[in-house]
């Protein structure tokens, strides 16, 4: 059956390219609801044209998310991803849609509009070849992944709980490898409150918030453990009012990435337990993990083994790996639902001017997703 699915997907490559290009032409930066909804309207039309029963999940401040169902069954497989991008409207003038040296270029093509089209072709392959699968197929395409998924997380988790497995159509690792682990992502804001004074007349009456924050940054930096995969980086600093005033307030933003839930808990205890060295100052810390880690559990490993077997039948040597970036798959994996990430396009340049996908890998990628869905019990 996998050969029939592969041959179908290869024959439908022109349809696949047309679908990708139609989505790229409709630029969809997360923060522009009108633009995202225009892209969503095109995506809804195309989902319905291949037999999807599509529902909008309206949002006031972000684009409307789309939920599409295919087939029937008591349980479902969830295909997950997003159609918002980091690129503003007008980016097409700097990054024109083009085909060059076997690559398709354009804003959002790799991250991750090609992945959406791959999922659609995989679903078409199953339906149009009459392949029997144990579950109905549900797709959830969201509009705020690039800014933390605040308005979509509830829907993601609800659909994941109904699912036998979650397949995330985010782009692959280099060379096409799947993502069987992702770090948990989050951040903290550290604010130090000091005592202001005239810097030139009586600085001793002040307590510098900037100086105390500098001490705290050294403590925070020491929490990083590269060997363990725990990343802690102070990425923004602000402080001071004027050149002649001992600063009363200073603040820092800290980016954190952790490989395990336990690492996240340890780091949170350390951050919330920060103490000032100067007793005249006080410190407040807010924040935490936005996305829990996607850990390589036995369930994740089983899904990967199934995918690797399908890939081998297609003629692909399918590797796996981990990444420090998060996705909506972090949420589903944290619920204990088997989740496999990175099933989208092979390419490079996410969030970069050279963003592209490898055209020659697209159809077989769809066949891989179709074959995996057929194998999941």
The predicted structure's pLDDT at residue 1: 84
Contact yes or no for 367/125 (Cβ under 8 A): yes
The predicted structure's pLDDT at residue 155: 98
Q: Find the CATH number of the domain harbouring 244.
A: 3.30.70.360
Residues 285 and 306 in one domain: no
Quick one: average pLDDT of 47-74?
A: 96
Quick one: average pLDDT of 105-120?
A: 98
Residues 276 and 287 in one domain: yes
CA atoms within a 13 Å half-sphere pointing along the CA-CB vector of 27: 17
Using the predicted structure, report yes or no on whether residue 72 has a pLDDT greater than 90: no
Residues 284 and 334 in one domain: no
Residues 140 and 75 in one domain: yes
Write out pLDDT tens, residues 292-307: 999 999 999 999 999 9
Q: What value does the mean pLDDT of the chain take?
A: 97
The predicted structure's pLDDT at residue 74: 81
Residues 222 and 307 in one domain: no
Last residue of a domain, one of 256, 291, 326: 291
Residues 125 and 261 in one domain: no
Burial of 336 (0-12, 13-18, 19+ CB in 10 A): exposed
Residues 60 and 112 in one domain: yes
Last residue of a domain, one of 274, 291, 308: 291
Write out pLDDT tens, residues 351-361: 999 999 999 99
Write out pLDDT tens, residues 29-44: 999 999 999 999 999 9
Residues 44 and 128 in one domain: yes
Quick one: average pLDDT of 82-111?
A: 98
Last residue of a domain, one of 232, 257, 291: 291
Residues 230 and 365 in one domain: no
Quick one: average pLDDT of 274-284?
A: 97
Instruction: Name the token pair of 6.
Output: 């592969």
> For 121, left (φ over 0), alpha (ψ -120 to 50), or beta?
alpha
H helix runs in 198-323, sequence order: 209-221, 261-272, 298-314
Q: Find the CATH number of the domain harbouring 80.
A: 3.40.630.10
Residues 195 and 169 in one domain: no
Write out pLDDT tens, residues 226-266: 999 999 999 999 999 999 999 999 999 999 999 999 999 99
Quick one: average pLDDT of 111-127?
A: 98
Quick one: average pLDDT of 326-331?
A: 96
Q: Which domain holds residue 330?
A: 2-182+293-375
- Measured between its terminal Cα atoms, the distance across the chain in Å is 16
Number of structural domains in the chain: 2
């Amino acid at each position: 059956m996998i050969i029939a699915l592969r041959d179908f997907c290869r024959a439908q490559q022109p349809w696949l390219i047309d679908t990708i290009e139609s989505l790229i032409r409709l630029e969809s930066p997360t923060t522009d609801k009108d633009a995202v909804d225009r892209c969503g309207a095109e995506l809804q039309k195309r989902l319905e044209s291949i037999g999807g029963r599509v529902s909008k999940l309206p949002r006031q401040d972000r684009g409307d998310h789309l939920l599409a169902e295919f087939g029937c069954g008591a349980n479902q497989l969830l295909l997950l991803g997003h159609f918002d991008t980091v690129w503003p409207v007008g980016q097409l003038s700097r990054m024109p849609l083009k085909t060059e040296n076997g690559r398709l270029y354009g804003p959002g093509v790799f991250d991750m509009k090609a992945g959406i089209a791959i999922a659609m072709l995989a679903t078409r392959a199953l339906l149009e070849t009459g392949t029997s699968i144990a579950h109905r197929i549900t797709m959830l395409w969201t509009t705020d992944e690039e800014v933390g998924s605040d308005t979509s997380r509830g829907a993601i988790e609800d659909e994941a709980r109904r699912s036998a497995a979650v397949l995330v159509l985010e782009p692959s690792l280099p060379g096409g490898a799947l993502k069987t682990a992702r770090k948990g992502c989050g951040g903290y804001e550290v604010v130090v409150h000091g005592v202001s004074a005239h810097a030139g007349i009586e600085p001793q009456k002040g307590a510098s918030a900037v100086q105390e924050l500098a001490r705290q940054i050294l403590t925070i930096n020491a929490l990083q453990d590269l060997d363990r995969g725990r990343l802690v980086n102070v990425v923004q600093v602000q402080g001071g009012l004027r050149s002649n005033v001992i600063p009363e307030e200073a603040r820092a933003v800290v980016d954190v990435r952790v490989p395990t839930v336990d690492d996240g808990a340890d780091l949170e205890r350390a951050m919330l337990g920060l103490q000032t060295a100067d007793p005249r100052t006080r410190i407040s810390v807010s924040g935490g993990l936005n996305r829990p880690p996607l850990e390589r559990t036995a369930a994740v490993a089983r899904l990967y083994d199934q995918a690797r077997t399908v890939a081998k039948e297609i003629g692909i040597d399918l590797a796996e790996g981990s990444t420090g970036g998060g996705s909506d798959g972090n949420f589903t994996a944290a619920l204990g639902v088997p989740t496999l990430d990175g099933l989208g396009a092979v390419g490079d340049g996410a969030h970069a001017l050279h963003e592209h996908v490898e055209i020659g890998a697209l159809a077989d990628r769809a066949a891989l997703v179709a074959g995996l869905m057929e194998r999941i019990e």
